[in-house]
Amino acid sequence: PRGTAQWQAADAAHFLHPFTDFGALAAQGSRIITRAEQLYLWDSEGQRLFDAMSGLWCVNVGYGQQALIDAATRQLQQLPFYNAFFQTATPPAIELAELLAELTPPQFRHAFFTGSGSEGNDTVVRMVRRYWDLQGQPDRRILISRNNAYHGSTMAGASLGGMKSMHAQGGLPIPGIVHIDQPYLAAYRRQRPAAAGLDEEEFGLIAARWLEKKVLELGPHRVAAFIGEPVQGAGGVIVPPASYWPEIQRICDRYDILLVSDEVITGFGRTGHWFGCETQGFRPDLMTFAKGVTSGYIPLGGVMVGERVARTLIELGGEFEHGYTYSGHPVACAVAVANLQLIREQRLVERVHDDVGPYLAEQFATLAGHPLVGDVQTSGLMGALLLVREAAGQSPFRPDQPVGMVCRGHCFAQGLIMRAVGDRMIVAPPLIISRAQIDEMMALIRHCLDLTLADVHS
Ligand code: PLP
């Protein structure tokens, strides 16, 4: 067997990693992750890591669940692949579509499968435009999204996303996609000192009405859909004010605009309901999902299509010329069915809602007194700490070493995987986490904040 150094050399020589600085990787080497159990990972040096990010927000049921492994094994033996093109189907894909219809809000009775969340969002772009064509309103072409959103890395996904640096690298967005600002009060206050006294709920209405303003500016007859993550994830776990989504719903209803919820992170229990739109109180026409649908054990994504759009596609549409080789992949769908049954049987969503979600909120609140922490936010088992350099005195980090990256470095060295987004530190642990494991995570977080604080003062 190869050792760490050999893995690192082969990695640097041949593997172009996603979202990675190639030069830094070649210079420093990767950490090679070799196995996992529950919510712990081990690297090739035998070091244990507490995975407070569920991989990439996806391993909802934790690592090593035998029911998922068995479902994959059985399906691989029985029928490892067949497609769903041209009027064929496999039992796992049918079963999953049926189960999703049961678990999602009542307007959803149909699923369209993809291989990833990005492809789900590409599907949304084509599907909403197709819908409006069939409705005889072909001018409704524009999708409105938000700054700092993340909707994936394909051309449409990255266009819907609001990451300016991603747009710059790909000549994006593609035509017909426009952005409004995100509902993030701390950022709004930074830009407008006059907003210091604004409360969260007032701000939620202001932020939602940026949508109305944009719709009126473009002309409602040209707007096809609005898309958003119920809680922005990769943008830094930005939990919107409670007033935000109901007002977005009102505006979409008023101008007859399709409302799309990107549930790739928030789906399948993360926020304490099955779907983030339920936590935030809105009723989407379409919903993209991926990640937690299989707990990341195998790639799968898709779009839940509400009856309004589904009926039009089915009754007026004929062939929808869109799909992927792996749309409805039988092994992926079999794993998803086993995963969703496990979430249901173990009442993980209820646990997040009633027990570990509130406990995380309570524990995070105790960090608000730390000299490096300016604000804390949680929604179910998503949490963010806003690190405020100012609070730690006047010795700023070097500009090439943002405070989040310094903190993340300490976490990584201390055996805790947390994510840094600018000056926000993020957790999204597996839904199976216990209170004792939250305590263990909190002790690591406190220790790493102290180490980071010591750096500020050095
Ligand atoms: N949408 C959201 C909200 C996401 O967080 C992500 C991935 O992080 C995606 C879409 C893209 O999903 P995938 O990486 O499976 O293409």
User: Do the domains 31-61+348-457 and 66-345 sit in the same CATH topology, yes or no?
Assistant: no
CA of 11 to the centre of ligand 1 (A): 24
Looking at residue 414, what is its pLDDT?
97
Q: Please, what is the average pLDDT of the chain?
A: 95
User: Up-side HSE of residue 419: CA atoms within 13 Å toward CB?
Assistant: 19
- Indicate if ligand 1 lies below 6 Å from the C-beta of 264: yes
- Indicate if ligand 1 lies below 6 Å from the C-beta of 233: yes
Q: How many Cβ atoms from other residues are within 10 Å of residue 127's Cβ? A: 23
Q: Is the dihedral of CA 131, 132, 133, 134 positive or negative?
A: positive
Each residue of 331-382: pLDDT tens digit?
999 999 999 999 999 999 999 999 999 999 999 999 998 989 988 999 999 9
Cα 168 from Cα 148, distance rounded (Å):
14
**Residue 391 in this model has a pLDDT that exceeds 70:** no
CA of 162 to the centre of ligand 1 (A): 13
Residue nearest to atom 11 of ligand 1 (CA): 152
- Indicate if ligand 1 lies below 6 Å from the C-beta of 116: yes
In this prediction, residues 102-106 reach a mean pLDDT of: 98
The fraction of the chain above a pLDDT of 90, given in percent, is 89
Q: Can you tell me which atom of ligand 1 is nearest the CA of 232? A: 3
Looking at residue 394, what is its pLDDT?
39
User: Which of the two residues, 33 and 396, has the higher pLDDT score?
Assistant: 33
Residue nearest to atom 13 of ligand 1 (CA): 117
Cα torsion at 339, 344, 348, 352 (round to 10°)? 120
Residue nearest to atom 9 of ligand 1 (CA): 152
Q: How far apart, in Å, are the Cα atoms of 57 and each of 234, 236, 237, 271, 454?
A: 9, 12, 11, 12, 30
Q: How many Cβ atoms from other residues are within 10 Å of residue 301's Cβ? A: 27
* CATH topology classification for 31-61+348-457: Aspartate Aminotransferase, domain 1 (3.90.1150)
In this prediction, residues 167-188 reach a mean pLDDT of: 95
Query: Do 187 and 195 contact (CB within 8 A), yes or no?
Result: no
Looking at residue 395, what is its pLDDT?
38
Q: Does pTM top 0.95 for this prediction?
A: yes
Looking at residue 393, what is its pLDDT?
46
Best residue among 264, 293, 295 to mutate for probing ligand 1, ranked by most atoms within 8 Å of CB: 264
Looking at residue 390, what is its pLDDT?
58
Looking at residue 388, what is its pLDDT?
78
Each residue of 40-74: pLDDT tens digit?
999 999 999 999 999 999 999 999 999 999 999 99
Cα 142 from Cα 140, distance rounded (Å):
6
CA of 264 to the centre of ligand 1 (A): 6
330-345 helix and 91-103 helix, angle to the nearest 10 degrees: 40
**Residue 392 in this model has a pLDDT that exceeds 60:** no
Looking at residue 146, what is its pLDDT?
98
What pLDDT band is residue 458 in, cutting at 50, 70 and 90?
A: low
Each residue of 256-314: pLDDT tens digit?
999 999 999 999 999 999 999 999 999 999 999 999 999 999 999 999 999 999 999 99
If we measure between CA atoms, which residue out of 72, 178, 166, 164 comes closest to residue 125?
A: 178
- Indicate if ligand 1 lies below 6 Å from the C-beta of 117: yes
- Whether cis (ω within 30° of 0) applies to the bond prior to 430 is no
- Indicate if ligand 1 lies below 6 Å from the C-beta of 290: yes
Each residue of 224-249: pLDDT tens digit?
999 999 999 999 999 999 999 999 99
**Residue 321 in this model has a pLDDT that exceeds 60:** yes
Looking at residue 191, what is its pLDDT?
85
Q: How many Cβ atoms from other residues are within 10 Å of residue 170's Cβ? A: 13
Best residue among 143, 151, 271, 419 to mutate for probing ligand 1, ranked by most atoms within 8 Å of CB: 151
The fraction of the chain above a pLDDT of 70, given in percent, is 97
- Indicate if ligand 1 lies below 6 Å from the C-beta of 267: no
Amino acid at 455: D
Residue ranges of domains in the chain: 31-61+348-457, 66-345
Cα 363 from Cα 360, distance rounded (Å):
5
If we measure between CA atoms, which residue out of 184, 148, 181, 182 comes closest to residue 163?
A: 148
- Indicate if ligand 1 lies below 6 Å from the C-beta of 301: yes
Q: How many Cβ atoms from other residues are within 10 Å of residue 310's Cβ? A: 22
If we measure between CA atoms, which residue out of 210, 360, 335 comes closest to residue 271?
A: 360
Q: How far apart, in Å, are the Cα atoms of 273 and each of 117, 222, 270, 307?
A: 20, 34, 7, 21
Write out the CATH class of domain 66-345: alpha beta
